[in-house]
Every structure is written in structure tokens, then in C-alpha cells.
Amino acid sequence: MSCRQTVPSFMVTIVDTLQPGAVKPRHPEKAKRPDTPVLRKPEWIRVKAPGSAVYAETKQIVRENNLVTVCEEAGCPNIGECWTKKHATMMIMGDTCTRACSFCNVKTGLPAPLDADEPENVANAVAKLGLRHVVITSVDRDDLADGGAQHFVEVIEAIRRRSPGTTIEILTPDFLRKEGALEKVVAARPDVFNHNLETVPRLYLSIRPGARYFHSLRLLQRVKELDPTIFTKSGIMVGLGEEREEVLQVMDDMRSASIDFLTIGQYLQPTRKHAAIARFVTPEEFKSYERIARTKGFLLVSSSPLTRSSYHADEDFARLRDARNAAVARG
């Protein structure tokens, strides 16, 4: 009689974390995926390579303060333009994310412990750069009990101490299953609370598998319930295979949650292991989305191929504030 037992087979990726200097793959969960096709970029997507003196100065300040920026980690196409204006989006809580979204170029894995000096380092960099408006984002930290909420609070408070005149915009993770985390961050009173829905609900399973569309929407609605004076902001990427009607429905969902500011930009594929680009949306289509969004009641809309969450954030905050004041004046 045979005693053999059938053992199910599993595909695993082994990462050497013990050898000094061992190179860890940036996206171990994507290593076994087949390559996706790459579409040639149209003229309206191409940008100049960075290289100005001010760009180099901004980069030096970032390095001196041991900071991580989403500009570099996510491979943002606007880094040359923004850093030349001394605009850099600080990414706190490390460079490694606990999620594995198929569109994102930020490293995936087990993050290092939080850096207790980071809040002061960020505040020092903001002061040195002389920023009127700063954007603070982070990786997802599902490994932390509060998802990193207290760290956000400490960064906001440190910036307020060093640069009381600087307005603060935060781009947060979803704090999924982190009870009390959102309330803690809202109590620190950032000027803008941004959380991106990223795509239409139908594509969440393939594009943003660790997140929940209605949880993200409810997060933004809850911010307004807790403090109506805080501006709320959210963005989506297009070119992932969404239909026009789906984008318009997301706009309606956002307005139902009282979101003030909508951003829409073209998805750009970081590597051939990431989600493929279904198509490049034309500048005319982006303008059409902007016109429709404005009629739906957003205070501000930024819709263009190169729009990103923090692109022109300084100028946009001033416009956002003016738009609210004008709306109040109209009654």
C-alpha cells in the first residue's frame, strides 16, 4: 500500500536578505510575470531631461537630509521642471511599500523601522528650500498598527514649528483596517488632504489589488465630515483600459464625497513587468474631462497628459483657495 502524499506546488521568489551587499529585486512579486508590451510615446508625452543648477541644488538638499522623494522613486516625468522650481514631494516612512500595485514603481517588500529623525529632517529641508507649499506623501505601511498616522502627525507638527507660513498638503495611504488613524491625521489639520482613487472600480483587482474603491472614497468623505475647512483632493490615471463613462461616474462619486480638487493624468508604464498602457489619451480628451469635471462642481481640476498629484501643487493651492473664497462670496 502506497503512503505517498500529494504535495501541492507553489511558485515562490527567494530574496537573499542575509548576504551583505546582496541586490534585492525592486519588485519581487512581479519578477515572474510575462513582459507587457510597450507603446511608443507620442510627442505630447516627451519631456526634457533634467540638468539645471537649481535642480542639482534641490537634489543636494534632499540628499543632505537623508530624504526619499516620490519624484525619484516613482520615476515622475516632471522631476526636471519641479526640482528646477525647488518643488520636491517628500516621501516619508521609507522607500519600501507593503502593497504591490501593478502601476507603481515604488519598491515592494518589508520596510525598515521608522526613522525617528525624519520629521525634523523633512522640516529642515522645507526650510532650506524656502517652500510656500509642501507635499508630503508616504509608502503604505500595513505593518504598522496605525498605518503610520502618528508619523504623519509628527512631520506636520515639525514643519509647522520650522516654517509656520508654509501650507501643507498630504497625500496619504488608505489606512485600511487602521481604526482611529484617519482621525489622528485630520486632527493635525493639514491644509490639503489628498488620497488618490487611482482608477475606476472595475480595474481595482488588477491595478490596485490591495485597496478597496469605496473605502478610499469614504476616507475622503470622512475628512470633510471631521473638518470641512480642509481641502480634499483625489486623482485618477487614464489609459489603463477604462471607459469614458466610467471616468465620469468616478467624478460623480467624488462629488458625492464633497471632494474639492480632481487631478487626471496619463498612466505611464514604469517597466515591462508593470501594467500595460492600453492607449495614450489625447490632450483634447483631457480638456474634455476638465470641462465636464468643472460643470460637476469641483473647485479645481487639473487634467492633462503629464498631470500628477503634486504637479504645480504650489500654484494650484493658491487657485484652490481663491476658488473657495469666490464660491463663498457668491453665497
Q: Is residue 10 part of a domain?
A: no
Express each pLDDT in 78-130 by its tens digit: 777 777 777 778 899 999 999 999 999 999 999 999 999 999 999 999 999 89
- Helix (H) or strand (E) holding 303, with range, is strand 300-303
Q: Are 318 and 92 in contact (CB under 8 A)?
A: no
| Joined grid coordinates for residue 244 | 469614458
The parent domain of residue 191 ranges over: 49-330
Q: Is residue 39 part of a domain?
A: no
Three-point CA angle 175, 179, 184, nearest 5°: 75
DSSP-based three-state secondary structure for 151: helix
CATH number at residue 220: 3.20.20.70
What is the 8-class DSSP label of residue 321? H
Distance in angstroms (rounded) separating the CA atoms of residues 96 and 319: 33
Q: Is residue 84 part of a domain?
A: yes
Distance in angstroms (rounded) separating the CA atoms of residues 178 and 116: 21
Q: Could you identify the residue written with the cell 490615471?
A: 237
pTM, whole model, 2 decimals?
A: 0.88
Q: Is residue 40 part of a domain?
A: no
| Joined grid coordinates for residue 138 | 508616504
DSSP-based three-state secondary structure for 115: coil
Q: Is residue 28 part of a domain?
A: no
Q: Is residue 93 part of a domain?
A: yes
- Characterize 46-67 residue by residue with b for buried, 16 or more Cβ atoms within 10 angstroms of its Cβ, and e for exposed: eeeebeeeebeebbebbeebeb
Domain count, the chain: 1
Q: Is residue 187 part of a domain?
A: yes
Q: Is residue 14 part of a domain?
A: no
Express each pLDDT in 1-53 by its tens digit: 445 554 444 444 545 555 555 567 788 888 888 899 889 999 998 777 777 88
Distance in angstroms (rounded) separating the CA atoms of residues 187 and 185: 5
Mean pLDDT of 140-158: 98
Distance in angstroms (rounded) separating the CA atoms of residues 46 and 30: 26
